[in-house]
A and B are shown apart, each in its own frame.
Chain A
């Protein structure tokens, strides 16, 4: 299957070639080939169980942690296949960060949450500076700067999620994967996360899985529509939501099913 390209330049942050994911014998992702342009927001949408989270977890080899999962095909990151023999998944996960559906701060202080990544990765420089920078980029610094020693669990859900983003940024990734980052949050906290995504895309490439089509339309530059593990359509977000080529995509984005 030919790789679906959305930009002419070919400056891809990630490119998948015939990626399939199997859980045991069932095929959760079927030969997906597309590319994710640098410094853009790409949304993965589709009905529940379509495989969007599974696809997202291919990009930082998180599927490795599921014993029954098997990935075939290639995921190219700066020209290198993430699934090549010499590639260390630990290094992949540092360079390609992830934010999860439910905020999952460590039950430690705010400071320690952000400092953990730099510490274990032996990043040079002043950890205090890294913590401050990361929290600022995640638009959380002003809210927590006076109580860095407090438990992260005392923060509100929205703040926790921004802390998780700050934590991911602290290990200087190039790509951020977000798995329904706002689905557990209220509308105001969601709006903050979406605004943050707009700010972050200047520095990072962002791939976001979302159930919420308005959210996909608001935050993303490109949208991929998946159905039953297949990539049905991938295009400019405006095109997907206003003039999709596939009837199936149109039915989904207009709410006729899903």
Chain B
């Protein structure tokens, strides 16, 4: 009896083949861990390198001066102002357009070929390289509508970037709208609400946190965009802050691009300092998005 039990226990202990199989499992665990760490590690190295390079150059005058041929007198004021201007305009243009498009597609459009075509093309547009939007912006907003936009102006840039992020924004807003339970819509319709009253009072307020999160993430993608803005002519020496949407402008990524392409070491440090500013802007936008998401997360 006791021996039979011992034998039975023995049968359940690790067999030689199983040792090998466990080892293979462990190896893969490390491979996967490595893959997961690569991204974070690269980011950490990048951050440390940039902070070492640029932190010393982050003086008050760095924020209050225009760029200069003399590195110690150079600042990012016009580029920073341009970025803030551009992002504000982009938000103003793309948010209402994107939300309206998403509401149409989710709440109003009948399922059919038209809706399918629009939906498929929005998904396609989200994958179009940003430089292509730059070419479009140059042709349409700078040249063709130049009289209205002021040519190579903030407005042209904002319209171009808005087009670029609209597909992402629409898709994010659609997902947020779809996440509003249909039971809420039914409750509203059941009380004699019209479609617009239902959208206005229930769908939009409940989808808003998700829409805002999506908008901020889309904007934080846009804040680093360089190619389309170079295309429409923001790669210029600007020594003043823009006063209105029809003014010429430059933005932080272009200023950074400008400085890194110079031979002197000091300009490289300036670029690093500007990158720190850009990253801080970007990370605070992402933090705001996460905060919004957690703050308004709903339990149904």
Contacts and interface: CB of A to CB of B under 8 A. Distances in A.
Interface string B149-178: 000000000000000000000000000000
Contacts of B183: 100, 102, 104
B299 A91 contact: no
Contacts of B206: 107
B116 interface: no
B190 interface: yes
A67 B110 contact: yes
B193 interface: yes
Interface in A89-108: 90-91, 93-95, 97-98, 100, 102, 104-107
Interface stretch (A25-33, A38-46, A73-81, A116-124): A116-124
Contact of A91 (B189, B190, B192, B298): B192
A60 B190 CA distance: 8
A100 B194 contact: no
A71 interface: no
Contacts of B184: 104, 106-107
A121 B194 CA distance: 10
A90 B193 CA distance: 6
Given A67-B110, A120-B197, A90 B192 contact: yes
B190 to A, nearest CB: 4
Contacts of B111: 67
A120 B189 CA distance: 11
Contacts of B187: 100, 104-106, 164, 167
A248 B191 CA distance: 37
Interface residues of A, number: 27
A179 to B, nearest CB: 10
Contacts of B143: none
Contacts of B202: 106
A117 B202 CA distance: 12
A209 to B, nearest CB: 14
B186 interface: yes
B73 interface: no
A171 interface: yes
Contacts, number: 67
Contacts of A171: 191-192
Given A67-B111, A107-B206, A153-B299, A93 B191 contact: yes
B221 interface: no
A1 interface: no
B201 interface: yes
A93 B190 contact: yes
A107 B297 CA distance: 12
A157 to B, nearest CB: 13
Contacts of A121: 191-192
A116 B300 CA distance: 19
Among B111, B183, B192, residue most surrounded by chain A Cβ atoms (within 10 Å): B192
B189 A65 contact: yes
Interface string A142-177: 000000000001000000000010011011000000
Interface string A19-63: 000000000000000000000000000000000000000001010
B298 A116 contact: no
A90 B194 contact: yes
A230 to B, nearest CB: 26
Contacts of B186: 62, 65, 98, 100, 104
A94 B186 CA distance: 13
Among A117, A153, A164, A168, residue most surrounded by chain B Cβ atoms (within 10 Å): A117
Contact of B192 (A67, A120, A153): A120
B192 A117 contact: yes
Contacts of B188: 106, 116
Contact of A94 (B192, B201, B298): B192
Contacts of A107: 184, 206, 298, 300
Interface in B182-230: 183-194, 197, 201-202, 206
Contacts of B181: 104
Given A106-B202, A107-B184, 20 more contacts: A60-B190, A62-B190, A65-B186, A67-B110, A91-B192, A94-B191, A98-B186, A98-B190, A100-B186, A102-B183, A104-B187, A105-B187, A107-B206, A107-B298, A107-B300, A117-B192, A117-B193, A120-B201, A168-B190, A168-B191
Interface of B: 110-111, 181, 183-194, 197, 201-202, 206, 298-300
Across the A-B interface, give the 4 residue pairs with the lowest CB-CB distance, nearest first.
A94-B192, A104-B183, A117-B191, A98-B190
10 contacts: A67-B110, A90-B192, A93-B189, A94-B191, A98-B186, A104-B183, A107-B184, A107-B300, A116-B191, A171-B192
